[in-house]
Every structure is written in structure tokens, then in C-alpha cells.
Amino acid sequence: MTRNPQSRRISSETLIQLAVDTLRSDIRPAIPAEQRYTLAMVANALEIARRDMVTDGDSALWDLLDAVYPDGDGTAERLAHDIRHGHVHDGAPPDLRALLKAIVIGELRIRNPRFLKSREIGG
Amino acid sequence: MSTSRPRTLDPANLDPLVTYLAHALGAERVRVSSAELLSGGAVQENWSLYVEVVGGPRAGSARWVLRTDAAARLPVSLDRTGEFAVLQTANAAGVRIAEPILECADAAVIGAPFMLQAFLAGTAQARRLVRTPDLAAWGGDVAVELAHQLAKIHAIRPGLNSAERLSFLPQPLLPPARAEVARLRGMLDGAGEARPALEYALTWLDQNAPAPNPLCLVHGDYRTGNYMVADGQLSAILDWEFAHWGDPLEDIGWFCARCWRFGNDAMEAGGIARRDVFVDAYVHTSDLSVRPADIIYWEVMAAVKWAAIAVLQGDRYRKGGEDAIELVLTGLMPSEMELDALLLIEQLEGTQNG
């Protein structure tokens, strides 16, 4: 029988999720009410980090940068600058707003999927 | 990195404060029997004081609120002296606020400039307000009252005698919407994170500004969370540190913006009432006609402004600040407001093209 040395490894994602679950189920009831907001922030930060580890949140940005800067030198800074100064606009590329929306949605899949749900956008 | 914020007022050593108050109030002596830090106030501190004044025009016992400049102030907010002048003007115009009592620009007294206002009962906690089971019983009435109060604020206009205390407020050199775009771009120029979607929305706002309304006093943060409700009645408008000369629709768009409904999205007026209840009451009281599309334009502005503020909050961490985790989480929020801005732009353009 072949053994896989990785098969029983606990993933970092699982570890963070366990930490979040423990904070909420065991720690939250035991701390004073005025510290619960801080605990909620800590749990939220951990969940964002967990989603970031398993989600490719930058693909939409790279798609847009590749479309606008075929030389491969595109960055978010350059794109922001060129939008402000009118070098990149609704006409070029023609679907600029949709591509920007895709970037923002990609970020929200990591940062706040519930927000997407409230806007009736699939998380 | 600490999650606690350094405080200015020291409740264990109130001597400098009472000495100052006795002098400033023309009293024989002043006693502060308790000083308690109130919740809320991300930008400044609020302290509840029980005060006994002997002699002078304010003689008697009272409960006041002392508000300080906090250690980290947003660059766009007024200092306490400026805010006090705005409060005096609003008070004289009959706007429902806690009476302004005095201001102290000398940071040496308690460690930061401060001002005193009368204490009023009520809650300003937005999430609690929009979720109260009896919201249907009072939400509409409070929204109407908020609209009436807003019309009074907007009747304060530059050049009027009633606004003479506000000569220090700069008048925009451009129409207010375009001036606001320029100001927000300036805020973002020094930021540590580029936001292409935010720049897109700013460009759209610059190119699609509606005809400006007459310049007036704008509260600048008129939303649920910045007014108090007691027993189902509006008791006071709070937090005037972002007041400025601008377009009245800025406040209406801010009040109705989805980011300030605190999840009660169907109640488009601040999460407490229907939009038409608020807007109709405002139009009935003011001399302004309001186009629905112009309010949506200013809702886009509201989303963009909140996104820009969130970027700057994240910068306070990136550049070394306090309250790290709260600031970092706020710094991750711009994408929420950017999505709202893009959806509203789609809605407006769909209406115009459809």
C-alpha cells in the first residue's frame, strides 16, 4: 500500500477556521460585552485571511491590466492614474466599467461575501 | 500595536478643567462630581460630566458633554473652535441640537482642545435604531423631523447675517460637486493604495454633475448614527465636524446612501423610513425642488466619499497609527462602496438610456 505523507496534514485554512469557531463558541461567551466588538473584528480578520489563502482575488485585475497594457507593464497605480486623466475610459476598453466591477467583486469574495449577497451578486 | 486609544481627559485630575471652567463661566467655583467616557466618537472623545456651578450666569447643577479633539483627527474635519461656531449658528437658526456652552482652544487645559454642550438623553446607535421592533411606529415621524431640521440647516447661506460666525469656512471655487471631486482626488493623492474603480467613479461624477443648487451650510455627515432619538422623538442632531458650504443635495444623498442604512436597505431614508417620506418632507419645508436622479448622483458621491475615507483610514495603519485592527478592516472596505457606486451609475445610465 502506498502512503501519502501529505494525506493527514491539517491545512492552514482548516486551522484558521477552527480558531475562528473557537473564538466564537468558547471565548465570546466568556468575555465582557465591551470586548465582544474587538473579538468580532479579530474573527473577521482571520476569516478574510482564510478566504484570501484559497481564492484568486487578483485575476480580474490582471485581465483588465493585460487588456489595457499589452506591453505587460500595467499596474493598479498606472491604471488609476490613466483613468483619472482620461487615457483609459468607457470607450477604451469598451467594457471598462464591467471589468472594474469584476475586480471589485473579486475583492469582495475575499473581504465580505455577505456584502455581495446583500447586493444579490453570487459570492 | 495597541487597540486602545490614548485618552486626553484624566478623570483623576480634573483640577485644571474646573479652574478653567470657573474662569470661563464667570463662576465663583465649579465642581465636577463625575467624568465618564461615553461610547461612540471614532474621531473625537465624548465625556459625560456632572457639574455644579456656584455663581455666574450658569449657576446650578447640570449634566454636560465634553467633546475633545482625539489624538488622530481626519484632515477634513473642523477643529473644536470651528465646530463650536457652526453649532452656535445652527442653534441660533433653531436647529435641534444640544446647546453649545463653551469651547476651549487651549490644548494645555486637558491635553486637547474641547467644547461643552448640554447633555441630552437618547440613543444614536445606528444598528440599534434601525433594528428596534417599534421602528414602524416612529421611523416615519423622525424622518420627517430630520427633513425639517435639514431644511433649516440648508437655509443658512453664506452672506446672510445669520451666518456671520461662519466666515472662516471656505467657499468652493468650483460648483460644489466638482469641488468635492477635486477634494476627494486630493485626499487620495497621498494614499498608499491605488483604487482604479474609485478613480472611475470620480471621473464619472466629474463628468455628470447636475446643475448646482444655491450654496448653503451642509452638515457633512447627516446620517443615522449622528442624531439621537429618545422615546420615538428626534432629540438632537450630532457630529458637526464635517460642516461646510456646499450643495444641499450632498446631505440628502448621504442620508439616503445605502452604506448608511445599516442593513435595513428597504428603508432608503437612513434605514428608518421610506425615501419619499423624507424627501417629500424636505421639499415641503425648503425652497428647493429636488430631482430624484440628482439625489442618486449624490448617493454615488456619498459612496465614493466613504470609500476615500476608508482608504485614508487604512493609510493610518500603513503609515503607522493606532487602533490597528479596526483601521485595517476599515481599509479593506472601499470595494463595498465602489460596488455600490458602480451599481448606482449603471442604474442612472440605464434610466437615461432606457
Write down the ipTM of this complex.
Answer: 0.91
How much of chain B exceeds pLDDT 90, in percent?
A: 77
Distance CA A57, CA A104 (A): 9
**Chain A hits for B335, Cβ within 8 Å:** 104, 107-108, 111-112
| Structure confidence by residue, pLDDT tens digits, B156-177 | 999 888 899 999 999 999 999 9
Cβ atoms B51, B30 nearer than 8 A: yes
Angle, in degrees to the nearest 10, between helices A96-111 and A36-54: 120
Cβ atoms B205, B304 nearer than 8 A: yes
Which of A104, A109, A111, A117 is most worth mutating to test chain B (most B CB atoms within 10 A of its CB)?
Answer: A104
Per-residue pLDDT averaged across A97-123, rounded? 93
pTM, entire model:
0.89
Q: Residue B4 — pLDDT band, cuts 50, 70, 90?
A: very low
**Chain B hits for A57, Cβ within 8 Å:** none
Number of residues that this document lists for chain A: 123
A32: Cβ contacts below 8 Å, ≥ 6 apart: none
| pLDDT at res. B3 | 43
Per-residue pLDDT averaged across B202-231, rounded? 97
Distance CA B234, CA B284 (A): 19
A115 versus B316: which is more confidently predicted? A115
Angle, in degrees to the nearest 10, between helices B292-318 and B324-331: 140
Alpha-carbon radius of gyration of chain A: 20
Distance CA B202, CA B185 (A): 8
A81: Cβ contacts below 8 Å, ≥ 6 apart: B194, B199
Q: Quote the cell numbers at residue B38.
A: 461615553
| pLDDT at res. B323 | 62
Nearest residue to B260 (alpha-carbon basis) of B210, B309, B321:
B309
Burial class (CB in 10 A: 0-12, 13-18, 19+), B289: exposed
- Buried b or exposed e, range B40-62, using 16+ CB within 10 angstroms: eeeebbbbebebebeeeebeeee
Distance from CA of A44 to the nearest CA of B (A): 8
DSSP secondary structure string, B276-329? HHHHHHHHHHSS----HHHHHHHHHHHHHHHHHHHHHHHHHHHTS-SSHHHHHH
Q: Residue B79 — pLDDT band, cuts 50, 70, 90?
A: confident
Cβ atoms B227, B124 nearer than 8 A: yes
Distance from CA of A104 to the nearest CA of B (A): 5
Distance CA A100, CA B348 (A): 17
Say whether residue B323 is in contact with chain A using an 8 A CB cutoff.
Answer: no
Angle at B295 between CA B232 and CA B40, to 5 degrees: 45
Q: Which of A77, A96, A108 sits opposite B339 (nearest CB)?
A: A108
Say whether residue B199 is in contact with chain A using an 8 A CB cutoff.
Answer: yes
| pLDDT at res. B2 | 41
Cβ atoms B248, B217 nearer than 8 A: no
Find, in chain A, the residue whose alpha carbon is nearest to that of B186. Answer: A84
CB contact under 8 A, A79 and B194: yes
| pLDDT at res. B68 | 84
Cβ atoms B252, B282 nearer than 8 A: yes
| pLDDT at res. B185 | 97
B262: Cβ contacts below 8 Å, ≥ 6 apart: B126, B127, B129, B130, B224, B225, B271
Cβ atoms B309, B293 nearer than 8 A: no
Say whether residue B24 is in contact with chain A using an 8 A CB cutoff.
Answer: no
Name the H helices within chain A.
Answer: 12-22, 36-54, 59-68, 76-84, 96-111, 113-118
B257: Cβ contacts below 8 Å, ≥ 6 apart: B223, B299, B302, B303, B306, B340
Please state whether beta strands B227-230 and B60-69 pair in parallel, antiparallel, or not at all (unpaired): unpaired
| Structure confidence by residue, pLDDT tens digits, B220-232 | 999 999 999 999 9
